[in-house]
Amino acid sequence: MQAIREDLRAVKLGDRNTPPHAITLVVLAGMSACAMNMFLPSLPAMATHFETDYAVMQLSVAIYLGFSAVLQIFAGPISDKYGRRPVVLWGLAIFLIATVGCIYAPTIEVFLFFRMTQAAVATSMALSRAAVRDMYAQDQAASIIGYVTMGMAIVPMISPALGGLLDEWFGWQVVFWALFTIGGITFLMALGDMGETARPTEKSLTAQFAEYPELIRSQRFWGYALASGFCSGAFFAYLGGAPFVGREVFGMSPSVLGFYFGAPAIGYFVGNFITGRYAIKFGVNRMIFWGCIANALGGAISLSVFLAGYGTPLVFFGMMTLVGLGNGLCIPNATAGMLSVRPHLAGTASGFGGAIMIGGGAGLSAWVGVLLTPQTGAFPLLWMMLITSLLGLLSILTVIRREKVLSRHS
């Protein structure tokens, strides 16, 4: 552990000829989270502005996640071929242009197009993790990713609250100007500090994409990818449904909703700290298992309280800290596991695994948006969160069982 901390401190900040500093990796991962979370308290007000239904406005979450998933399928192999640095910089540049498009969009259709294009920033999160795996072995990579995402977890604690305040004081467009400013700072940091970490390859892009079947045939890869996808599915469902629940079920203002909305990030911060501290000692499989347990407990307790008729904002958002804790334990370790199945395909695995996780999240987010009505209350969201959590637990149990079988036969 001490050696890892010394490695992080030894990297020079602001030198594009060295691997990126941990601060840069935190900012890159955080930018993607900020773009996803910051405007969510504004969704009801934006639905009024564009004169559309909440379910249509909520598609701005689903299409962002869906396009992020598609992009990551291509970003991984492209970054394995041409490097992490250029893909990250192009992704940030496209994000900045798309953000301006969102601000000046005259109709909901135009806004949704530019919102989809904003998803280019998702390459920052995927490739920041791939850069870590370029530099470290599996358990060390899980520890480093834990520390990086621990810092990144501060973003979803702060950004919804900030977005809610900006919306209440100045209107939703100012929220997107804030995103543009933060994105510009992130671009300049990456330009100055994002040294290349990928090993050069002579393979063509066609050959790179042809290696996807090597991952697809790996049961271990699927176990890690689905554990991460289902565990985070509870959170993505929350992203799609919580603004509706806060506004329609609990009658919250944007600023109050923004304050409560960051509750999962508290647990996520703690989970990532535990990952950073103990991933090497306990190994990725045990960390993922306990993460899935915490995730399922959060959903089960919240649903039970609501079924008993005692549902309150404190219960709903408070139990999301357990879901966040579970994600903080599961995602960094599952990511390290995915990237270690075929280390020479780290970028491809990061992109494909991210596509599975975020693509599933897009579907869940859209589905929850359709199911939630004033008559249903929070129940469709609560059931969805519990089911996905249990499926994540089943996924990691298959990996653990397979490794026990292989160890007995070796």
pTM, two decimals, is 0.68
Identify whether the C-beta of residue 159 lies closer than 8 Å to the C-beta of residue 37. Answer: yes
Residue 410, Cβ neighbours under 10 Å: how many? Answer: 5
Q: Residue 383: what pLDDT?
A: 92
> Residue 93: exposed, middle, or buried by beta-carbon count in 10 A (0-12, 13-18, 19+)?
middle
Q: Residue 62: what pLDDT?
A: 77
Q: What is the CATH number of the domain that holds 237?
A: 1.20.1250.20
Q: Residue 158: what pLDDT?
A: 74
Average pLDDT over residues 34-41: 80
Q: Is residue 202 part of a domain?
A: no
Kindly compute the dihedral angle of the four CA atoms of residues 70, 75, 81, 87, in this order, to the nearest 10 degrees.
150
**Would you say the C-alpha torsion 340, 345, 351, 357 has a positive or negative sign?**
negative
Q: Is residue 254 part of a domain?
A: yes
Q: Is residue 290 part of a domain?
A: yes
Q: Is residue 78 part of a domain?
A: yes
Identify whether the C-beta of residue 410 lies closer than 8 Å to the C-beta of residue 252. Answer: no
pLDDT band for 26, please (50, 70, 90 cuts): confident
Q: Is residue 264 part of a domain?
A: yes
Q: Residue 171: what pLDDT?
A: 82
Q: Residue 273: what pLDDT?
A: 82
Q: Residue 218: what pLDDT?
A: 79
d(CA 30, CA 125): 8
The whole-chain average pLDDT of the chain stands at 80
Tens digits of residue pLDDT in 188-240: 988 887 777 667 666 666 766 676 777 777 788 888 888 888 888 888 788 77
Q: Is residue 407 part of a domain?
A: no
H/E/C letters for each residue in the chain? CHHHHHHHHHCCCCCCCCCCCHHHHHHHHHHHHHHHHCCHHHHHHHHHHCCCCHHHHCHHHHHHHHHHHHHHHHHHHHHHHHCHHHHHHHHHHHHHHHHHHHHCCCCHHHHHHHHHHHHHHHHHHHHHHHHHHHHCCHHHHHHHHHHHHHHHCHHHHHHHHHHHHHHHHHCHHHHHHHHHHHHHHHHHHHHHHCCCCCCCCCCCHHHHHHCHHHHHCCHHHHHHHHHHHHHHHHHHHHHHHHHHHHHHHCCCCHHHHHHHHCHHHHHHHHHHHHHHHHHHHHCHHHHHHHHHHHHHHHHHHHHHHHHCCCCCHHHHHHHHHHHHHHHHHHHHHHHHHHHHHCHHHHHHHHHHHHHHHHHHHHHHHHHHHHHCCCCCCCHHHHHHHHHHHHHHHHHHHHHHHHHHHHHHHC
pLDDT of residue 8 exceeding 50, the answer is no
- Alpha-carbon distance values, 316 to 86, 163, 200, 260, 300 (Å): 41, 21, 48, 10, 11
d(CA 38, CA 135): 31
Q: Is residue 203 part of a domain?
A: no
d(CA 14, CA 61): 33
For the ranges 75-79, 158-162, 251-255, 319-323, the one whose mean pLDDT is highest: 319-323
372-398: b (≥16 Cβ within 10 Å) or e: beeeebbbbbbebbbbbbbbbbebbbe
d(CA 177, CA 50): 18
Q: Is residue 62 part of a domain?
A: yes
Number of domains in the chain: 1
Q: Residue 1: what pLDDT?
A: 46
Tens digits of residue pLDDT in 128-154: 767 776 666 656 666 666 666 665 566
Q: Which of left, alpha, beta for 311 (phi over 0: left; psi -120 to 50: alpha)?
A: beta
Q: Residue 92: what pLDDT?
A: 92
Residue carrying structure tokens 């903080």: 328
Residue 277 belongs to domain spanning: 2-194+208-402
